[in-house]
Amino acid sequence: MDNSNIYQKAKQDLLEVGKKYNISEDKLEEFLVPDKVLEVKLPLNLGSEIIVFKGYRIQHNNKLGPYKGGLRFHPQVSRDETMALSLWMSLKAAVAGIPFGGAKGGVTVDPKVLTEKQLEELSREYVRKVFDILGPDKDIPAPDINTNPKIIDWMVDEYVKLSQKATHSAGSGQDVKSQKSQPYAAFTGKKAHGLSARIESTGFGGVIVLEKLIEKLNLNPKELQVAVMGFGNVGYHFADFASKKGYKIVAVSDSKGGIVKKNKDKFIPLDIPLVNECKQEKGSLAGCYCAGGVCDTRGGQMITNEELLELPVDILVPAALENVINENNMQNIKAKIIIEMANGPVSPKAYHYLVNKGVIIVSDILANSGGIVGSYLEWEQNFKNMKFSQKEALAKIQSILEKSFDNVWNLAKKNKTNLVEASYLLALEKLIK
């Protein structure tokens, strides 16, 4: 995964929209530069030696509210990648109409080589190094690649300890209720004090956006075939909710490849809950040819991720990595609709080529914004010391994203443009004035 120019891609997308719609170039250039770039050293004792890891927290823009964004542990975490992701978070919050700004963080580390104890110490050390810029009304991290509720709970525990120490030192007069609830609002994606629907919120939100699009296009979900690249948390929940809405999920993939099942030349819809159960048991999708309540190899076929992208389906859902649809494969894309559930899965060249061909692309800053909406609900319930049920949370996410989609759709119609451009334009209208 080459992220060396991911920030330049993000800038290029926005500068093109700005030029087309006469947005002040000076104001846009100023907006593109992050408010703060924090790089920290994270020494970790590995027993035989002390290794110093590099950590980042980039606060892009807080015009609409406190900074908000995920925190990833990955060997390829870089300043450039984190800057791009923080920019996208600013745009996502604006499109969703959520009172958050954009931020992103990460540690350049392969967490798989650490023991659980070492991983916990690294997580706590990160919080100690960036504590001063975090807070429920300042900057609110969340899980991302290779981080999870357990890691976030370690971070919250460290944050609460440091908060109590700081409050005691300052002799703060905060009321007891505030002290109990507000520190937990400094992070989202927690297991303790978390939102019951947080884990499925991104995938669920993507399906809500898809449903609105299909309704506008007057299509029948039951006649549409879908391929999902990436069967992690986002891809699985997208596939699961979409299949329950009647869409035919005919191919899914993970990092090792994808699966399809055919009868003669026709795809057989996969049984997504069974496929997921099989993957959890086997560790990968290989051999998980589950359809109609049965898992067997008859008609089953392993395909590469590249082959999945080029399948003759109606809807393609890249839900894994950046730039997977690019100038090398754009001419082979057969889907008429692309729902961007990953960050930046379509390169600028491929985007222009596909849009000119009539492909409808729903931008990541709209399609996968269910996550930031779920984070907002978790933050709100911590701040107000209350609790949403799963049903209430999903209903609120649906309501917010349906409104967001309508705003983007109407702006696209007004300006006679596509949904990607309209998403950027809507965000910039809120962020640059």
Question: Could you give the CA distance from residue 432 to residue 14 in angstroms, rounded to a whole number?
Answer: 12
Catalytic residue among 11, 68, 92, 104: 104
Question: Could you give the CA distance from residue 6 to residue 233 in angstroms, rounded to a whole number?
Answer: 23
Strand partners, 361: 338
CA dihedral 188, 74, 117, 68 (to 10 degrees): -20
| Residue partners of 107: CB distance under 8 A and separation at least 6 | 42, 53, 54, 55, 56, 71, 72, 73, 77, 122, 126
Q: How many CB atoms lie within 10 A of CB 391?
A: 10
104: annotated active-site residue: yes
Strand partners, 226: 249, 315
If DSSP codes are grouped into helix, strand and coil, which group holds residue 334?
Answer: coil
Angle, vertex CA 307, rays to CA 346 and CA 347, nearest 5: 10
Q: How many CB atoms lie within 10 A of CB 426?
A: 22
- Which residues have a catalytic role annotated? 104
